[in-house]
Amino acid sequence: MELWYTEKQTPGLGLSCKIKETLYRTKTDYQELAVLDTFQFGRMLVLDGMVQTTIADEFVYHEMITHIPMRTHPNPRNVLVIGGGDGGAVREIIKYPDLEKVTLVEIDTEVVNASKRFLPEISSFLEDSRVNVMIADGIEYVRSHEEAFDVIIVDSTEPVGPAVGLFGSPFYEGVFRALKEDGILVAQTESPFFNADLIRTVYRRIKAIFPLAHLYLASVPTYPSGLWSFTMGSKRYTPLEPAGKWSPEDTKYYTSDLHTSSFSLPRFVQDLLKD
Ligand code: SAM
């Protein structure tokens, strides 16, 4: 008998994956969590019926949410990741030789535990001595920090449940205050095909707070529509040319050329950003 998992990405569209095995399933304090072993993408982390990451394509999202801000800043030493309990963003950040500290603030301890148990390729770098894992609400956490971080990365779930506030202006204002005077914010902002309103709204919110706002794209097969957006707010540095001298050489998606080209947007995405 064949077993299939379907994520209903929109009311009229689903992504179906043939399943080898359900490795783990639990209801946490915040969400329903599952780890599935799929034929096409290998192990897959699912929260509330939405694919968060898979072994086969996680590199795209994790490289693009980290290396673009990390190389836009000339010397990032102290970095904050909000969400991201799978550890993929942290794995990319600790590649930077001059990095002093990365703090991961994840609200759900079960995401960290399940990732450590079932997704070691992604999570094992959480054990690095420069990594500080905190189980807390990212919204509260930024409120209690001022001019502390060079880069803040919001690697959040979709705007449901505890992640709703991570897409709001009060949170972005808190992030602005928690960043140093030349700091950079990047947030994952969903699909331009299916989440146009969210992208429009978040871009305007970030543009109203930060001197520079930019949107860039990457292609993630397991995310709705396959085309994913990231929105950056920068206090000083423009991301269009990577400033950081050091560049990671062991990436599978990110390159210095792609850094620049990922900001070249299709016309329908440019239109979302117009006033
Ligand atoms: N790459 C993913 C995506 O775009 O689908 C995101 C993955 S990561 C697992 C998202 C994490 O954000 C989840 O583990 C969730 O528990 C966490 N999260 C949601 N709201 C949060 C909050 N307010 N503070 C900290 N973490 C939060």
In ligand 1, the atom with minimum distance to the C-alpha of 31 is: 16
Ligand 1 touching residue 86 (CB < 6 A)? yes
The pLDDT assigned to 241 comes to 84
CB 11 within 8 A of CB 2: no
DSSP state of 192: T
What ranges do the domains of the chain cover? 4-54, 58-272
The domain made up of 58-272 is a member of CATH 3.90.105.10: no
What is the best residue among 64, 106, 122, 134 to mutate for testing ligand 1's pocket, by most ligand atoms within 8 Å of CB?
106
pLDDT of residue 245: 83
Ligand 1 mean position, distance from CA 107 (Å):
8
Does the C-beta of 156 come closer than 6 Å to ligand 1?
yes
pLDDT of 234: 98
Catalytic residue numbers read 155
Cα 26 vs. chain centroid, distance in angstroms?
23
Using CA atoms, how far residue 152 sits from 95, 133, 157, in Å, is 16, 15, 16
- Would you state the structure tokens that stand for residue 139, as one six-digit string? 């919204």
Per-residue pLDDT of the chain (275 residues; tens, 9 = 90+): 899 999 999 999 999 999 999 999 999 999 999 999 999 999 999 999 999 999 999 999 999 999 999 999 999 999 999 999 999 999 999 999 999 999 999 999 999 999 999 999 999 999 999 999 999 999 999 999 999 999 999 999 999 999 999 999 999 999 999 999 999 999 999 999 999 999 999 999 999 999 999 999 999 999 999 999 999 999 999 999 898 889 999 999 999 999 999 999 999 999 999 98
Distance from the CA of 104 to the center of ligand 1, in angstroms?
11
**In CATH, 4-54 is 2.30.140.10:** yes
Which pLDDT value is given to residue 2?
A: 94
User: 81 CB less than 6 Å from ligand 1?
Assistant: no
Strands of the sheet containing 3-10, edge to edge, are 3-10, 13-27, 32-38, 42-47, 50-54
DSSP bridge pairs for 32: 27
